[in-house]
Amino acid sequence: MSVFTHEVEVLDPIGLHARPASQIVKLVKESELNVEIGRPGEEFVKAKSALMLMSLKIKTGEKLTLTVETTDEAKAADIAAQIQEFLKG
């Protein structure tokens, strides 16, 4: 298993709130991959809980790092792209 790292930016005017958090959680649970999200240089949280994601209090314009544990680099890139879409608002 490899860990692939991607950067995403929160573009939603409200920041990371309940709707995108629940979309991310649904995606991650369906993928059955280990995905973690956090600010660069800070502690990451597992992306399987909307409450954990919202506890980060991410605001509009913030850049986040996400890690995806998988053997398939294309799948990791697809997960990152979908998460970026959820964060557009």
CATH number at 35 reads 3.30.1340.10
How far is it, in rounded angstroms, from Cα 63 to Cα 52? 17
pTM for the whole thing? 0.95
Q: What is the mean pLDDT of residues 71-79?
A: 97
Q: What is the mean pLDDT of residues 50-72?
A: 97
Q: What is the mean pLDDT of residues 36-45?
A: 96
Is 17 a residue of the active site? yes
pLDDT in tens, 16-38: 999 999 999 999 999 999 999 99
Active-site annotation holder among 8, 14, 15, 17: 17
Confidence of residue 56 (pLDDT cuts 50, 70, 90): very high
- How many domains does the chain contain in total? 1
Instruction: Domain of residue 62: give its range.
Output: 2-86
DSSP codes of every residue in 31-74: HT-EEEEE-TTS--EETT-HHHHHTT---TT-EEEEEEEES-HH
Q: What's residue 54's pLDDT? A: 97
How far is it, in rounded angstroms, from Cα 13 to Cα 1? 36
